[in-house]
């Protein structure tokens, strides 16, 4: 049976063949939309003409994908409830040691900037939600005597205000800003060393991801580092199941609703790699699995 990662690679090869001979477009989003259409068409071909098990596998994959929007991304959902959802995510991130895993990934970059360039490492977190990753990193930097300047951002003003209040109370040096992750290319070039993103890739369409990846390479000196849940049936059941329990305990269905949709929207590793390489052809792209339920994506601009 054709592995799904192999399937995505074949779709990308087909996309490249179709592009050959056409006039070269530099519209990354249009190219990504074209690739996604091609993937859907090819998947349909397998569903119609593949062997029985293959049909089943591709049909299941097709049924899982959804464009339905999580409450957390809806304009008509109360900010206070959105805050509860991101606070709930923070508890899970703490429980599973996800902040530590991000710290482990970025530590070599911070040391490089501090020791070789003798200056603070400037970090921007995008789609930061409750801002707790930024607080965690600031504490870690203090413990390890690292020189960092951390800014955390989100598109939702409410989170930014709440996190800034918390920073004030705790005398934290983290700065909070309202930034649209889709407009990174409008920020000053090479303003930051690292751009971080946790548990948010699945909130964006493939075309939007391409825009974010592209923008990140304009403003980052060292790397864009993202982590999100691993796409797989076991993880799907785990994420759905644990959020269902949370909804039962709190008598609030919003956690299960958002977690289930999120789990269905997680990107396969191969597809993330392809999108990143298309959006940032001059960058170095690396996709890994730092632990059983996580995918990490690192995109380093060539100029490093």
- How far apart CA 214 and CA 185 sit, in angstroms, is 7
Q: Which of residues 62-81 bind ligand SAM (CB under 6 A)?
A: 72-73
Q: Are 296 and 105 in contact (CB under 8 A)?
A: yes
State yes or no: residue 154 binds ligand SAM (CB under 6 A).
Answer: yes
Residue nearest to ligand SAM (CB): 129
Which of residues 18 and 94 has its CB atom nearest to ligand SAM in the complex?
A: 94
State yes or no: residue 200 binds ligand SAM (CB under 6 A).
Answer: yes
Task: Quickly count: other Cβ atoms within 10 Å of residue 279's Cβ.
Answer: 25
Which of 12, 122, 203, 257 forms a contact with ligand SAM (CB under 6 A)? 203
Q: Are 203 and 228 in contact (CB under 8 A)?
A: no
Strand 121-126 to 148-154 pairing: parallel
Which of 35, 89, 259, 261 forms a contact with ligand SAM (CB under 6 A)? 89
Q: Which of residues 111-140 bind ligand SAM (CB under 6 A)?
A: 126-130
State yes or no: residue 162 binds ligand SAM (CB under 6 A).
Answer: no
Residues 6 or more apart whose CB falls under 8 angstroms from that of 112 comprise 222
Rounded to 5 degrees, φ, ψ at 2 are -70, 125
Which of 4, 11, 58, 90 forms a contact with ligand SAM (CB under 6 A)? 90
State yes or no: residue 295 binds ligand SAM (CB under 6 A).
Answer: no
Q: Are 35 and 67 in contact (CB under 8 A)?
A: no
Q: Are 281 and 26 in contact (CB under 8 A)?
A: no
Binding piece for ligand SAM, criterion CB under 6 A, among 32-40, 197-205, 233-241, 270-278: 197-205
Residues 6 or more apart whose CB falls under 8 angstroms from that of 142 comprise none
Which of residues 121 and 127 has its CB atom nearest to ligand SAM in the complex?
A: 127
- Which residues in this chain contact ligand SAM in the complex, by CB under 6 A? 72-73, 86, 89-90, 93, 126-130, 154-156, 159, 180-182, 198-200, 203
């Amino acid at each position: 049976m054709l592995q799904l990662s192999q399937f995505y690679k074949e779709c990308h090869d087909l996309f490249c063949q179709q592009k050959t001979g056409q006039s070269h477009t530099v519209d990354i989003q249009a190219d990504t939309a074209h690739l996604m259409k091609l993937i859907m068409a090819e998947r349909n071909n397998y569903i119609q003409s593949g062997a029985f098990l293959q049909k089943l596998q591709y049909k299941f994959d097709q049924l899982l994908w959804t464009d339905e929007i999580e409450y957390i991304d809806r304009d008509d959902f109360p900010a206070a409830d959105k805050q509860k959802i991101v606070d709930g995510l923070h508890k899970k991130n703490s429980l599973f040691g996800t902040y530590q895993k991000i710290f482990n990934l970025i530590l070599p970059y911070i040391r490089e900037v501090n020791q070789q360039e003798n200056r603070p490492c400037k970090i921007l977190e995008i789609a930061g939600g409750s801002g707790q990753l930024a607080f965690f990193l600031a504490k870690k930097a203090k413990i390890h005597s690292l020189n960092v300047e951390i800014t955390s951002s989100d598109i939702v003003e409410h989170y930014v205000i709440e996190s800034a209040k918390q920073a004030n109370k705790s005398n934290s040096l983290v700065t909070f800003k309202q930034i649209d992750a889709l407009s990174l290319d409008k920020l000053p070039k090479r303003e930051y060393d690292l751009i971080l993103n946790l548990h948010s890739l699945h909130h964006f369409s493939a075309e939007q991801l391409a825009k974010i990846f592209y923008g990140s390479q304009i403003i980052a000196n060292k790397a864009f580092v993202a982590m999100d849940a691993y796409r797989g049936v076991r993880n799907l059941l785990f994420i759905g199941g644990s959020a269902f329990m949370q909804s039962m305990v709190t008598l609030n269905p919003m956690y299960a609703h958002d977690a289930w949709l999120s789990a269905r929207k997680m990107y396969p590793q191969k597809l993330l790699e392809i999108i990143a390489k298309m959006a940032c052809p001059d960058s170095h792209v690396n996709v890994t699995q730092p632990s059983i339920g996580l995918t990490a994506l690192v995109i380093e601009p060539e100029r490093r």
